[in-house]
Amino acid sequence: MRLLLALLVLAASQPWARAESHWCYETQAKAFNNCLAPAQWGGDCQKDHQSPINIVTTKAQLNKNLGPFSFSGYDEKQKWTVQNNGHSVMVLLGDKATIAGGGLASQYRAKQLHLHWSSVLDAGSEHSLNGDQFAMEMHIVHEKENKKEAQDPKDEFAVLAFLVEAGSKNDGFQPLVEALSAIPRPTMNTTMQESISLLDLLPEEEKLRHYFRYLGSLTTPGCEEKVIWTVFEEPIQLHKDQILAFSEKLYYDREQKLKMTDNIRPLQHRGQRLVFKSQAPGRLLALTLPALLVPTLTYLMAGFL
Domains of the chain: 1-42 (no CATH), 49-301 (3.10.200.10)
Q: pTM of the full predicted structure?
A: 0.85
Q: Is the pLDDT of residue 263 over 80?
A: yes
pLDDT band at 147 (very low <50, low <70, confident <90, very high): confident
Poorest-pLDDT segment among 90-94, 195-199, 287-291: 287-291
Three-state SS annotation for the chain? CHHHHHHHHHHHHHHHHHHHHHECCHHHHHHHCCCECHHHCCCCCCCCCCCCCEECHHHCEEECCCCCEEEECCCCCECCEEEECCCCEEEECCCCCEEEECCCCCCEEEEEEEEEECCCCCCCCCCEECCECCCEEEEEEEEECCCCCCCCCCCCEEEEEEEEEECCCCCCCHHHHHHHHHCCCCCCEEECCCCECCHHHCCCHHHHHCEEEEEECCCCCCCCCCEEEEEECCCEEECHHHHHHHHHHCECCCCCCCECCCCCCCCCCCCCCCCEEECCCCCCCCCCCCCCCCCCHHHHHCCCC
Give me the pLDDT at residue 72, please.
98
What average pLDDT does the segment 93-117 reach?
97
In percent, the amount of the chain with pLDDT more than 70 equals 83
Poorest-pLDDT segment among 20-29, 67-76, 127-136: 20-29
Q: Is the pLDDT of residue 10 over 50?
A: no
* Residue range 153-168, pLDDT digits in tens: 899 999 999 999 999 9
Give me the pLDDT at residue 286, please.
35
* Residue range 51-65, pLDDT digits in tens: 999 999 999 999 999
Q: Is the pLDDT of residue 280 over 70?
A: no
Give me the pLDDT at residue 298, please.
42
Give me the pLDDT at residue 153, please.
86
Q: Is the pLDDT of residue 287 over 80?
A: no
Q: Is the pLDDT of residue 252 over 50?
A: yes
Q: Is the pLDDT of residue 73 over 90?
A: yes
* Residue range 188-225, pLDDT digits in tens: 999 999 999 999 999 999 999 999 999 999 999 999 99
pLDDT band at 3 (very low <50, low <70, confident <90, very high): very low
- Residues designated catalytic: 87
Averaged pLDDT of the chain: 87
In percent, the amount of the chain with pLDDT more than 90 equals 80
